[in-house]
Amino acid sequence: MGDFSKSIVNQRFRQVYEELEKRGMIKGKSDLGKKLGTYNHVINSILKGERNLTVEQLHKLFETFQVDANFMFGFSEGIFQEGAPGLYDFPTRSLSERSFAGRSNITLVPDRALAGYALEHQDETFLSELPKFSIPHLEGSLIAFEISGDSMYPTITNGDIVVCEPLERDDPLRDNNVYVVVTDVVVAKRIQQIKQGDHLAQLRLISDNEMYKPYEVDAQDVRQILRVKCRLTTHAIA
């Protein structure tokens, strides 16, 4: 069996694997294998220097995780392309930082009001009746959502609040980043854009908890998209 351990691509792949695990973007060799269209034992062999990555596997690594090709071939030291996602796509802060006094620029949508928000997110009367709060150094008119469930665990946990910036229709989106997507329901998910030519046809909504399968929604059914700017939690912050 050949020794591929001296290959720069394989050496860099080991660094990428470690970084993806550290960021929580993969859950071990089997998970990475599925995302690269191969198997656990193949990933294990590549990491051990017993075989090379294929061209197809490299392309999937670039597309799925936004790994920089220049890094893989030894031409740069930055592992990811600019704007690539990680486990913490946004800052994590304590719920105790909330202030309900004074300037209140963040509108809170509690779990019980999510269904109403999906229908009335453009209704100023509905929005005015929701609670407001502020967080130091978070400016602008923002919307916060109370998250129920574990579909985005460990990125977002049950009971967390995500503070979001509403986007306009023509604002660019980043695949694999976390957004709140409003259709007839309100969900926080990673997204991947499915296009027909230059036209956005669907969004694939992806949970970080692998127990939940990805699913697609038609672009015409999307009422609003909000970029997550900050997570508020009662859990320990590293």
Identify the CATH number of the domain in which residue 61 sits: 1.10.260.40
Percentage of residues of the chain with pLDDT beyond 70? 93
**Calpha distance 238→227 (Å, rounded):** 23
Identify the CATH number of the domain in which residue 126 sits: 2.10.109.10
Q: Are 48 and 117 within one domain?
A: no
Helix (H) or strand (E) holding 63: helix 55-65
Q: Are 115 and 52 within one domain?
A: no
The pLDDT tens digits for 149-201 are 999 998 899 999 999 999 998 888 988 889 999 999 999 999 989 988 888 99
Residue that wins the pLDDT comparison between 169 and 111: 111
Q: Are 23 and 136 within one domain?
A: no
- Could you say which of 42, 72, 102 is where a domain stops? 72
Percentage of residues of the chain with pLDDT beyond 90? 65
| Entry pTM | 0.65
- In the predicted structure, residue 86 carries a pLDDT above the cut 60: no
Burial of 220 (0-12, 13-18, 19+ CB in 10 A): exposed
If pLDDT is split at 50, 70 and 90, which confidence band does 210 have? Answer: confident
Q: Total domain count for the chain?
A: 2
pLDDT of residue 1: 46
Q: Please, what is the average pLDDT of the chain?
A: 89
If pLDDT is split at 50, 70 and 90, which confidence band does 208 have? Answer: confident
pLDDT of residue 24: 62
If pLDDT is split at 50, 70 and 90, which confidence band does 236 have? Answer: low
- Which residues, in sequence order, are CB contacts of 65 under 8 Å at separation 6+? 16, 20, 25, 35, 80, 84, 176
- Which residues, in sequence order, are CB contacts of 16 under 8 Å at separation 6+? 61, 65, 67, 71, 72, 79
**What integer is the mean pLDDT of 122-150?**
94
pLDDT of residue 137: 83
Domain that holds residue 64: 8-72
- In the predicted structure, residue 48 carries a pLDDT above the cut 80: yes
pLDDT of residue 238: 47
Q: Which two tokens stand for residue 218?
A: 């038609």
Residue that wins the pLDDT comparison between 115 and 65: 115
pLDDT of residue 3: 64
Q: Are 54 and 101 within one domain?
A: no
